[in-house]
Amino acid sequence: MRRFWPALLALFGFAFVTAAILIPTVLVSQLRVVPLDLDITSDATTVSADGNADDRFPAVVLDRCSLTAPKVRQLDAHLTQQRRSVIIDPSSKTRATVQSAQTVRIDRVRDADGKETDLSFAAAGEPRTCKDGLLSATIDRVSVNRKTSVPDGKVHSIQFEALPEGGNLDDVSVDVPRQGFQYKFGFNVKKRPYLYFDTNTRTDNPANFVGETTLKGVKVYEFVSEVPETDLSELPNPQGEASLGTLLTQPASWWGITGQGIKPTDPVTMHRYGKATRHVFVEPVTGTILDGKEDQEQYYRSPDQSQSLPTAIREFKLHALKGTFKWADSTVARQADKADHYKGLLKMAKFWLPLILGIIGALLILAWLWLFLRDRRRTAADGPSGDSAFDYEGPGTAAGAWSEPEPSTEATTVIPTDDATTVIPTDDDATTVIPTTEDTSSTAGVGPWDRPTEQIRPIDSGDEPDDPLRKR
C-alpha cells in the first residue's frame, strides 16, 4: 500500500495534464457548432426614422380594400414582424436544417381622416378579407454546415402558401439557393464583409463591417447590408407565376396619374419593387445575432423607364410598404443572455478548464515526486529494507545466516608450521606432539603452506600410530 498511493498520484497527475492539453482542441471543437437545440424567437416592430418607438403609426401600407375603389389609398400603420427559428430534419453531426416561420402583421392603422382602427387576423383555414391584419407569412428552410453556419445546399426553400392536409410541400414552396448567413453568423467573426441573404428579394448581398458597440453588456460588431432594388414580379410563386400583388394594372385615374397624353381610363401596369438597408449586430465569438434593424421599402413603379413613356408614368412611385423594423428590447436581452452563455462555455473549455486541470495535474505530479525522493532518502539512511534477501533468518539463529557463530565445545586440531607444534587435543585433553623435521628435499624454499602434507613425518607401515582421533 505504501507504493500504491504514490502511483495513484502519478496516474491522476499525468491524466489531468493530458486532459488539459487535449480539451482546447477536442471539447472546443465540439462546442463550436450550430446547436441542434437552436430556438430563436425575435420580435420587431416599426419605429420612426429616428428610432422613436413611441410613434404609434410610423409605417405606411397600401390599403388593400382600395383595390376595388375608384382611387388608391394609403394608411399610416404600426407593424409587427415575428420570426421563430428552430432545427428540423434533416440534421446530423455536420448539418443543421433551420426552419424559420415569419409573419408581418398590421396592428393598427390610421386613415387620411385620422380615424384609427385596430386590426385582427383570421385563424388558419378561415377566409381573409382586405381588412385582415396579416400582411404576409412565409416559412423559410435552409440547411447549414454546423461548423461554419454557411448554407450547404442540401435544403433551400421558401414556403408561401399553407400546406393542405395530405399535400406535398414542394407544391407550396419555391427552391431558393443561397450562400449568405441569415439566422446566425459563423464563429470568430472578423471585421470584414460577409454575405447576408435577404428573403424578400431572394438575393445574397454583402454585409459590411461598420463598427463596434455594446448591447446589454455584450460587445458586438455592427454590419450593414444594402439590398438593391429588385423587381419582385420576377420572383415566381410555387406555380411559376408572378406572386400575388407584384403586378398591378389599374386605370391612370386610380393611380392618380395625370399629364399630357394620359387619359384617366388608360390602363397603367406597375411592378412591385423592393429594397432594404439592414443593420445586424453580431457577438463576434459565437456569431449570435443580438439585434437587428431593417429599413424596408416596397413600392409600385413602371418597369418601362424609356423616354418614350410619359414622364408622369415614368416617375410615378407608390409605396405599398415603408417602415423601419427594430428588434424589441426583450428579444435583444434574450439573445444577449444566449450569447453570453455560449461564450462562457467556450471560454471555460478553452481556458479555465485546461488551466484548472493543468494546475491540479502539476500538483499531483509534484506530490508524487516528493514522496518518491523522500522514500529514496529514507532507504539510503536506514540501510536495506525489509524486502532485502539479506534479511533472511536461518534456522537456529535469530540473527540469520550471517550472524557471528557461537563458540564450539569440540576439540581443535592445530597443524604446526616450521616454527610451531601441532597440538591435537583429545576428548580428555591429552595432546600428541608431533615434532617438526628438517626437509632437505627439493621442496626447500617452498613455503610450508604450499605443500602442507609434506610437513608431516612419514610413519612405518608396521607401526600402529597412536591416533588420538580413533580413541573413543
For residue 7, pLDDT beyond 80: no
Q: For residue 457, what pLDDT band results from cuts at 50, 70 and 90?
A: low
pLDDT at 48: 93
Cβ atoms of 234 and 304 within 8 Å: the answer is no
For residue 384, pLDDT beyond 90: no
Map grid coordinates 433551420 to a residue.
98
pLDDT at 15: 83
For residue 240, pLDDT beyond 50: yes
Residues in contact with 293: Cβ distance below 8 Å, sequence separation at least 6, in sequence order: 278, 279, 324, 325, 326, 327
Q: Measure Cα distances from 58 to 33, 272, 280, 320 in Å.
A: 39, 21, 21, 14
pLDDT tens digits along 132-157: 999 999 999 999 999 999 999 999 99
Q: What is the mean pLDDT of residues 282-311?
A: 95
Please give the share of the chain, as a percent, with pLDDT higher than 70.
Answer: 79
pLDDT at 440: 47
241 burial via Cβ count (<10 Å: 0-12, 13-18, 19+): exposed
For residue 24, pLDDT beyond 80: no
For residue 321, pLDDT beyond 60: yes
pLDDT at 392: 46
SS3 readout for the chain: CCCHHHHHHHHHHHHHHHHHHHHHHHHHHHHCCCCCCCEEEEEEEEECCCCCCCCCCCEEEECHHHHHCCCCCEEEEEEEEEEEEEEECCCCCCEEEEEEEEEEEEEEEECCCCCEEECCCCCCCCCCCCCCCEEEEEEEEEEEECCCCCEEEEEEEEECCCCCCCCCHHHHEEECCCCCECCCCCCCCCCCCEEEEECCCCEEEEEEEEEEEEECCEEEEEEEEEEEEEEHHHCECCCCCECCCCEEEEEHHHHCCCCCCCCCCCEEEEEEEEEEEEEEEECCCCCCEEEEEEEEEEEEECCCCCCCCCHHHHCCCEEEEEEEEEECHHHHHHHHHHHHHHHHHHHHHHHHHHHHHHHHHHHHHHHHHHHHHHHHHHHHHHCCCCCCHHHCCCCCCCCCCCCCCCCCCCCCCCCCCCCCCEEEECCCCCEEEECCCCCCCCCCCCCCCCCHHHHCCCCCCCCCCCCHHHCC
Cβ atoms of 167 and 173 within 8 Å: the answer is no
Q: In the Cβ-directed half-sphere of 375, how many Cα atoms lie within 13 Å?
A: 10
Can you give the pTM of this predicted structure?
A: 0.74
Q: What is the mean pLDDT of residues 253-277?
A: 96
Q: Which of 21-35, 61-75, 113-127, 270-284 has the lowest mean pLDDT?
A: 21-35
pLDDT at 460: 52
Grid cell, residue 102, equals: 415569419
For residue 362, pLDDT beyond 80: yes
pLDDT tens digits along 58-100: 999 999 999 999 999 999 999 999 999 999 999 999 999 999 9
Backbone angles phi, psi at 398, to 5 degrees: -80, -20
Q: What is the mean pLDDT of residues 398-405?
A: 47
Q: Which residue has the higher pLDDT, 24 or 462?
A: 24
Cβ atoms of 317 and 292 within 8 Å: the answer is no
pLDDT at 158: 98
For residue 178, pLDDT beyond 60: yes
pLDDT at 359: 87
> Average per-residue pLDDT in the chain?
84
CA torsion through residues 375, 380, 382, 384, sign:
positive
For residue 456, pLDDT beyond 70: no
For residue 28, pLDDT beyond 60: yes
Among residues 167, 143, 147, 169, the alpha carbon closest in space to that of 156 is found at 143
pLDDT at 390: 43
Domain ranges of the chain: 36-248+272-307+316-327, 410-457
For residue 33, pLDDT beyond 50: yes
Grid cell, residue 170, equals: 414542394
